[in-house]
Structure 1
Amino acid sequence: MTRSERLADQLDRHWHKNLRPRLHGLADEEYFWEPVRGCWSIRSRGTSAAPMSAGSGEWTMDSASPDPVPAPVTTIAWRLAHIIVSCLGYRVGWHFGGQNVDSQTFAYAGTADEALKQLDEMYGRWNAGVRELSDADLDNPPTVGPERFPMEGIVLHVNRELIHHGAEISLLRDLYRWQD
């Protein structure tokens, strides 16, 4: 395996064995479930109580700038949107010639099924792009986008982000199933 294939395989194994199977059967009620008051989520346009809302379509993502401390608890919907746009989407556009993705212009998913389709598409584009990177690409900072450290570090960061946020989503699914 090449270095890029090893990096892609690290996340791909987690994706196929852990994260994606844990998302099977995700229903809208669970997607939008708010385990505590004040959760950030994906909401119908005009219904958010958060300081800011991002998105171009019927659904928007709760946000603030700067991020509040402590950060609010977020729903599965919000976490999936974060993975789709911030973890994968920006970088697919910057580094692999995909359509530019921006949180303000993205059409967030109003259903679990739609979000999973967005996730699968963006993950597939990311994984294919990583697999095509040469050793020279991995050793150097990209020429497009704001990230100015070697591409290998960016790939490892995205891997950590997806593993981290995927584990959070899995925990929320466990809590949802076992709630009183």
Structure 2
Amino acid sequence: MTAPGWNALLLDQLTWHWEYQLRPRLDGLSDAELHWEPGGDVTTISWRLDHVTYALADRSARHFGRAAVAEADYPFGTTAAAALDRLDEEYETWTTGVRDLGEDGLLTPCGPAEGPWSDAPKAAIVTHIHREVIHHGAEVALLRDLYATR
């Protein structure tokens, strides 16, 4: 059996989380939940979904040829349905871009699009974006649980 390459492993990291944890936990998200303010310095589900959506869109624009994200596009969804539609679109764009990098593309430098990290391999930005999706996705799941039991 041939071991999977790094590109497949990195994609599996995100797609497994997306398919079996995050995306199923977003099913049934209501507009009220999206905008619920838990209190204190805790941001809303809307902020977290926008943050993840923007991270995916911005890095897809920097590295995979997606059109640049205009500030006027932010926030991405005033309704739960709109926010999730946009998140799904950006997830698909991102995963296609990462897949198309292949093994060699992961080792190429990020270039000027990443400022002081321009010499870092694209694998570094891929792992960073995956951490963002996993981290903030877990926060959204927790906020949904707290909303349900408030």
Given the two structures, how large is their TM-score scaled by the length of structure 2? 0.89
Report the counterpart of residue 15 of structure 1 in structure 2: 18
Structure 1 position 135, deviation (Å): 2.4
Aligned identity (percent) is 45
State the AA in 2 paired with 1:111.
T
1:26 maps onto 2:29 in alignment: yes
C-alpha displacement at 1:144, in angstroms? Answer: 5.0
CA distance in structure 1 between the partners assigned to 2:112 and 2:92 by the alignment: 20
Secondary structure of the 1:132 match is helix
In the other structure, the counterpart of 1:40 is none
Runs of 4+ in 1 over 6 A off after TM superposition: none
Equivalent residue for 1:118, pick from 63, 78, 86: 86
> Quick one: which of 120, 132, 142 aligns to 2:110?
142
Partner in structure 2 of residue 105 of structure 1 = 72
- Equivalent residues, number: 143
Q: 2:131 aligns with which of 137, 160, 164?
A: 160
Counterpart check, 1:173 vs 2:144: yes
Alignment of 1:48-127 (within 5 A): 72-85=41-54, 87-102=55-70, 104-107=71-74, 108-127=76-95
Mark the CA change 1:144 to 1:8 in structure 2 (over 3 Å): closer, same or farther: farther
Match of 1:36 in 2: 39
For 1:27 and 1:82, locate their aligned partners in 2 and report how far apart those are by CA, in whole Å: 18
SS at match of 2:72: coil
CA root-mean-square deviation: 1.3
**How big is the shift at 1:141?**
1.4
From the two aligned structures, give the one with the greater strand fraction: 1
CA distance in 1, matches of 2:44, 2:8: 32
Q: Structure 1: 5+ residue runs without aligned partners?
A: 38-71
TM-score normalised by structure 1 residue count:
0.75
**Which of the two has greater helix per residue?**
2
Amino acid at match of 2:53: I
Structure 2 runs not aligned, ≥5 long: none
**Amino acid of the residue matched to residue 103 of structure 2?**
D
- Secondary structure of 2:73's match? coil
